[in-house]
Structure 1
Amino acid sequence: MRKLALSDEILLSIEKPARYIGNEVNSVMKDKEKIDVRFAMCFPDVYEIGMSHLGIQILYDMFNKREDIWCERVYSPWVDLDKVMREENIPLFALESQDPIKDFDFLGITIQYEMCYTNILQVIDLSQIPLRAKERGEDCPIVIGGGPCSYNPEPLAEFFDLFYIGEGETVYFKLIDLYKECKKAGMGRTEFLYRASQIPGIYAPMFYDVTYNEDGTIADFAPNREGVPEQIEKQIVMDLSDATYPTAPIVPFIKATQDRVVLEIQRGCIRGCRFCQAGMLYRPTRERDVEMLKKTAIAMLESTGHEEISLSSLSSSDYSQLPELVNFLIDECRQRGVNISLPSLRIDAFSLDVMNKVQDVRKSSLTFAPEAGSQRLRDVINKGLTEEIIIKGAGEAFEGGWNKVKLYFMLGLPTETEEDQKEIAHLAEKIAERYYEIPKDQRNGKCQITVSTSFFVPKPFTPFQWARMCTIDEFLGSARTVNHEIKDQLNKKSIRYNWHEADVSVLEGLLARGDRKVAEVLKDVYEHGGIYDAWSETFDNQKWVDALERTGTDMNFYVHRERSLEEKLPWDFIQIGVTKKHLLKEWERARQEEVTVNCRQKCAGCGAACYKGGVCFENQN
């Protein structure tokens, strides 16, 4: 019988002890004596967030299908347990075996968003592993990072032995097999890391040196050992239908953020929004076969007992077999008493018809993401959404019985003016007006429009990666402009406005766009008690302000200046398929307010469709 890592006394003293005991439905237990490699898969946030992450469920299932690997899970302890573990010197442990992470072969950390970076240091530190990779001995696990933020690994490079650039289903087993070979041959840690660096998609920071110009920009980034590749190529799965997918995902003991079965229908996006990092990183678009999805959906519902299923995709409406899949799920879910969640749908006649058939949908609101208030600025960002489409979609929804609409925008986009900001209020007003055009006896109560604005962060591998980011004062000024303009609208009582924290957004920009020197800021914040920066109740901006001052780091250099087209960017050594030439072309088209049509209408020649042997659309230029 398993012995829990925490005593009953500790479990009774902390919030939600079920976060730490493991043994959930569909979790995997193995005999430690019969396996060769132990892999701790970490999501550096609280259990409820981490258990909602599809990527970890996929890798957990994939690893555990091999008899020689035992993959277990670990999440960031909440602040109450964090305090106890430090006071009692309790090492961080895995949920399945309750064994210390420091006894594992690998600690794999999903790097999902920038504001979890201090939690990454928390996980490594509580595991009693040295923070800096160069200080780790032969008895330490190999710390490897992956996920969307690993596409600029440099701010974290000091803390990781390896980064996996790409989709986990591709070369992970090559890495594991190499580890087994090196271990059997008695090779040391450094030799394994050196050999691992030669596996496509694996980046070992210790074998690369960075030099800087006098102005702080990067002068050179190059391997320091023969045989190490100059560039790291993203690894992708071209045939998703044959790729591994969990039919029996773990069911959490407590309610997770996404407490449902998740069915990933495709990867990638055809849309080409110039601000969207995911839309560039996950190209080309690849669909799962509809018959495979039908079988998987039924298997997952039966193995979990979940009462809701959600379709996962960057743009579900672009899935070519969506009508067949949705109609099948509607029939299946009706028989099973299961709800369907359909995120990332464009609001058109088909979507509204589907939503009318889905249970409980009238309890929720419809979501539009115009991203910019004016048509001019939507053209700059290549949103591909006109005011006419937005008003038409809202009108059809209102006539179908909906009365709640959520509108998502960004502030601080390149070329944005005060007039663009005010247009956010004007668009919300036009949608409200469309609602009140419906005869009163046919309306479903009062119209409720929620306008939300986030602040634009220019991310790596987007056409806007060279753009400057606004300051905190500029962001707050634009939010005030929107707020005042909304209050001047005729239907202001039907419109509610909220905006994201500007200080968090600017720090996100620092971590997203930084180089290796930013690691000192991150380490300073953590050593002064900073964790859970993604949570408003624990985020402390002053810790970051103080760390920037102590380390002599210039926020303006990393965040608030437009970068030269000739400048060597910290992430330039990674190849994602989309070429830098294409990003430059799109940056220029944005300045000219020119729209680039989506991939299915005409190939823009971005390079991704031909990457790794993929086939481009026939009309490629």
Structure 2
Amino acid sequence: MRKPALNDEILLTIEKPARYIGNEINSVMKDPAKVDIRFAMCFPDVYEIGMSHLGIQILYDMFNRRDDVWCERVFSPWTDLDQIMREKKIPLFALESQEPLRKFDFLGITLQYEMCYTNILQILELSEIPLLSRDRTEEDPIVIGGGPCTYNPEPIAEFFDFFYIGEGETQYDAIFELYKENRKNGKSRRDFLMKVCQVPGIYVPSFYDTVYHEDGTIQSFTPNIPEAPKCIEKQVVMSLTDAPYPTAPVVPFIKVTQDRVVLEIQRGCIRGCRFCQAGMLYRPLREKDVEVLKDYAEKMLKNTGHEEISLSSLSSSDYSALKEIVTFLVDEFHGKGVNISLPSLRIDAFALDVMSKVQDIKKSSLTFAPEAGSQRMRDVINKGLTEDMILHGAGMAFQGGWNKVKLYFMLGLPGETEEDIKEIAVLSDKIARHYYELIPKEARNGKVQITSSTSFFIPKPFTPFQWAPMNTREDFQNKAHLLNDTFKEQLNRKSLKYNWHEADLSELEGVFARGDRKCAKVLLNAYKKGCLFDSWSEFFQYQKWLEAFREEGVSIDFYNTRERSEDEVFPWDFIDIGVTKSFLRREWQNAKTESVTPNCREKCSGCGASNFKGGVCFETKN
């Protein structure tokens, strides 16, 4: 019989107590005396965000299939409970057993976004686990980092015992077996780390030393023990069809951000957008068999009671069996009160036909992501989208009955001019004009609504733009104001709406995206000043972050606004993602000359991902 970690008095005083009580449908309970390994799976944000993440559900299901492992979940306590736990000295606990995390063998933290980094420190501190890995003892859990931010783990390297680089389905069984053997033989924590660093994809930061030039750039990055490899190779699941997948995912008691069944149809992308980190990290594109997906859909809906099913991928339109799986879902489930969500679709006749069947046209809007307003800039970023294609897609949508369109763009892209910025408003106006020219007055469902939103471009590791300088905060704001003024000048301005946000958060994200180990002291300083939940605008404290940078003598401009030389050693260069640095460098030059690179199905560009011996690289070409 488990004992709740929080008493009724506390649960009645905090917001959404169901975040902390566990026992949800399909959650896994085991007898701790009958397992060898206890693993706490952590998403360092609030429950509603973490429970919407597919990766957590996949690993939770995979680990718990083992009789000798009990995987439980933990999320960042919201600010109200955080305060109570500190005041009453309640240690952070896992949802399933309600037991303190410090009792566990492993604490695995998924790193989806740089602005969750202060929450990592919150998790560790509330768990009574020393923040710095070097201060941990044999009694403390092994702290693991995984997820996309591990492709530059250096800003947070001091807080983790090791990082798992790549897709989680491949190496955890080997890690668990090593851990059991190490404990059976009475070996130490360091002995285990020396063994695990030899597992492909595992990076133990304490086994590497960084030497810097006088200008602050990296001179060398080398292993300090013979067991540690010089290069860490990302781990890839080549057969998604055979990979474990949760057919009975945990069903939350409360509404979460993604409250639906999620079908992962493929990983990777063929497109090669030069700003997109995910498109490079997850190469090569690998598809899941459509018959397996049909089986998963039926089982997951039956096992969860969800009323919506969504397809998950970076670009659903590139899934070769898209028509078959969508037709199946519509025919099988739409008449049973199940909504079908189809994100990441290119707008074509098939997509519109399907969406007209599964969406309420009067309420829904269609989303396009041109990313840049001018054709020149779309060529710079290798978007593979012309103005004619955008207008044609919008026109088909208007003729299909839609009159609401959302457009997504970026400001601050490399080589951007004022004219390029203004073209965002001009393109938005052209789309509105196209509606009025195409749809007769008597057939219109009111005015067309074009909502254009901009985000600020942040250069990321392992993209062709990793060499690019980032705009300053002031530059970003000036560009947003220029664009806002340009929207007001458009002929159809009453049909146009423009959204943007402040640049403070983007500036910080830029630092930690391309930062090195010197950034850790800034993070620690900011956390001690009270910075937490930085990705939530109501909690973000920009001035405290500036104080932390100033007090630690770390320059924001060094990481953000300088252009890197082509031969500079980057903090993440010790990781091999398959895509080569020479390919990224070539694409950086192509961006400067506005040259377009074809997608992977049109022509192989020699990025290096074919070394994985599978996926789109080895498809039979028609």
Alignment partner of 1:241: what SS? coil
The alpha-carbon deviation at position 359 of structure 1 amounts to: 3.9
Partner of 1:305 in structure 2?
305
The more displaced of 203-212 and 357-366 is: 357-366
Contact 2:378 2:385 in 1 (8 A): yes
State the Cα deviation string for residues 160-216 of structure 1 (Å, max 9, x = none): 000000000000110111000001000000110111000000000000000100000
Give 1:42 shift: 0.3
Distance in 2 (alpha carbons) for counterparts of 1:115 and 1:218: 24
C-alpha displacement of 1:93? 0.2
Residue segments in structure 1 that go unaligned for 5+ positions in a row: none
In structure 2, what is the equivalent of residue 485 of structure 1? 486
CA distance in 2 between partners of 1:49 and 1:333 (Å): 27
Give runs of aligned pairs for residues 79-228 of structure 1, distance below 5 A. Answer: 79-228=79-228
Alignment partner, residue 555 of structure 2: 554
Structure 1 residues 59-111: Cα deviation after superposition (integer angstroms, max 9, x where no partner): 00000000000000000000000000111111000000000000000000000
Q: Which amino acid aligns with 1:49?
A: I
Deviates more, 1:579-588 or 1:328-337: 328-337
Q: SS at 1:220's partner residue?
A: strand
Alignment partner of 1:601: what SS? coil
Deviation string 1:121-173 (CA, Å, 9 cap, x unpaired) is: 11111110000000000000000000001100000000000000000000011
For residue 536 of structure 2, what is the aligned residue in structure 1?
535
Between 603-612 and 209-218, report the one with greater CA deviation: 603-612
Q: Corresponding residue for 1:572?
A: 573
User: Do the aligned residues in 2 keep the contact of 1:424 with 1:482 (CA within 8 Å)?
Assistant: yes
| Contact 1:411-1:421 at 8 Å conserved across structures | yes
In the TM superposition, residue 617 of structure 1 has moved relative to its aligned partner by: 4.4
Q: Residue 501 of structure 2 aligns with which residue?
A: 500
Kindly state the Cα deviation for residue 446 of structure 1 after the two structures are TM-superposed: 1.1
Residue 76 of structure 2 aligns with an amino acid whose one-letter code is: S
Written as runs of structure 1 = structure 2, the 5 A alignment for 1:214-293 is 214-293=214-293
Is the CA contact 2:267–2:285 (under 8 Å) kept in the aligned structure 1? yes
439-448 or 58-67, larger mean C-alpha shift: 439-448
8 Å Cα contact 1:610-1:616 kept in structure 2 = no
- Match of residue 75 from structure 2: 75
SS of the residue 2:609 aligns to: coil
The AA in structure 2 aligned to 1:119 is N
1:465-513 superposed Cα distances (whole Å, 9 cap, x missing partner): 0000000000001101110000000111111111132110010000100
Aligned-partner SS, 2:314: coil
| Closer, same or farther: CA 362–194 of 1 in aligned 2, 3 Å | farther
- Partners of 1:430 and 1:238 in 2: CA distance: 43
Whole-angstrom CA distance in 2 between matches of 1:17 and 1:313: 32
Q: Which amino acid letter does the alignment assign opposite residue 496 of structure 2? A: I
In structure 2, what is the equivalent of residue 592 of structure 1?
Answer: 593
User: What are the equivalent positions in structure 2 for 1:361-510 lying under 5 Å apart?
Assistant: 361-437=361-437, 438-510=439-511
Query: 2:285–2:616: 8 Å Cα contact kept in structure 1?
Result: no
Q: How well do the aligned residues superpose, as a CA RMSD in angstroms?
A: 1.1
Distance in 1 (CA, whole Å) between partners of 2:296 and 2:190 is 41
Q: CA deviation at 1:364?
A: 1.5
- Give runs of aligned pairs for residues 316-395 of structure 1, distance below 5 A: 316-395=316-395
Letter in 2 for 1:543: K
Q: How does 1:7-26 map to 2 (within 5 A)?
A: 7-26=7-26
Q: Provide the rounded CA distance (Å) in 2 between the counterparts of 1:44 and 1:299.
A: 29
Distance 1:171 1:357 in 2: 42
Q: 1:252-273 CA distances to partner (integer Å, 9 max, x unpaired)?
A: 0000000000000000000000
| Cα shift at 1:614 | 6.3
Give the whole-Å Cα distance in 2 for the aligned partners of 1:617 and 1:175: 30
Deviation at 1:619, TM superposition (A): 10
Listed one character per residue, the Cα deviations across residues 189-248 of structure 1 (whole Å, up to 9, x for unaligned) are: 011011100000000000000010000000110000012100000000000000000000
| 1:242 counterpart SS class | coil
Q: Secondary structure at the match of 1:364?
A: coil
Partners of 1:483 and 1:287 in 2: CA distance: 41
Q: Matched residue pairs, number? A: 620
Q: What is the alpha-carbon distance in structure 1 between the residues aligned to residue 414 and residue 359 of structure 2? A: 41
SS of the residue aligned with 2:465?
Answer: coil
Structure 2 Cα separation of the partners of residues 391 and 615 of structure 1: 30
Letter in 2 for 1:136: R
Runs of 4+ in 1 over 2 A off after TM superposition: 359-362, 609-620
- In the alignment, the residues of structure 2 paired with residue 332 and residue 481 of structure 1 have an alpha-carbon distance, to the nearest angstrom, of 49
Give the share of equivalent positions with the same residue, in percent.
70
Shift of 1:616: 3.0
CA–CA separation in structure 2 for the residues paired with 1:545 and 1:615: 45
Deviations 1:575-617 (A, max 9, x none): 0000111000100000000000100000001011222666834
- Kindly indicate whether the alpha-carbon contact (under 8 Å) linking 2:60 and 2:71 is maintained by their aligned counterparts in 1: yes
Q: Deviations over 1:26-56 (max 9, x none)?
A: 0000011110000000000000000000000
What is the alpha-carbon distance in structure 1 between the residues aligned to residue 233 and residue 537 of structure 2?
36
| Residues 602 and 619 in structure 1, CA contact (< 8 A), matched pair in contact too | no
Q: In structure 1, what is the Cα distance between the partners aligned to 2:360 and 2:2?
A: 42
Q: Which amino acid aligns with 2:443?
A: Q
Which amino acid in the other structure matches residue 61 of structure 1?
D
In 1, Cα distance between equivalents of 2:377 and 2:317: 23
User: Secondary structure of the residue that 2:447 maps to in structure 1?
Assistant: coil
Alignment check: 8 A CA contact 2:361 2:402 kept: no
Could you report, residue by residue, the CA deviation over 1:335-361 in whole angstroms, capped at 9, with x for unpaired residues? 421000000000111110110111435
Distance in structure 1 (CA, Å) of the matches to 2:302 and 2:618: 38
SS of 1:63's equivalent in the other structure is helix
Distance of 1:233 and 1:510 partners within structure 2: 24
Partner residue, 1:563:
564
Can you give the 5+ residue segments of structure 2 that lack an aligned partner in the other structure? Answer: none
Contact 2:284-2:616 within 8 A present in 1 as well: no
Give the Cα separation in 1 of the matches to 2:590 and 2:380.
Answer: 8
Q: Are the structure 2 counterparts of residues 553 and 614 from structure 1 closer, same or farther at C-alpha, using a change threshold of 3 Å?
A: same
Tell me if the contact between 2:465 and 2:588 (Cα under 8 Å) persists in the aligned partners: yes
The answer (yes or no) to whether the contact 1:410–1:456 under 8 Å persists in 2 is yes
Match of residue 59 from structure 1:
59
Cα distance in structure 1, aligned partners of 2:599 and 2:29? 46
Contact 2:361 2:401 in 1 (8 A): no
Letter in 2 for 1:515: D
Q: Secondary structure at the match of 1:137?
A: coil
Whichever residue aligns with residue 570 of structure 1, its letter is P
SS in 2 for 1:24: coil
Q: Which amino acid aligns with 1:110?
A: T
Q: Which amino acid aligns with 1:480?
A: H
Contact preservation (8 Å) 1:603, 1:617: no
Amino acid at match of 1:131: L
Looking at structure 2, the residues matched to 616 and 430 of structure 1 have their Cα atoms a distance apart, in angstroms, of: 38
How far, CA to CA, are the matches of 1:233 and 1:425 in structure 2?
43
Contact 1:453–1:498 under 8 Å retained in 2: yes
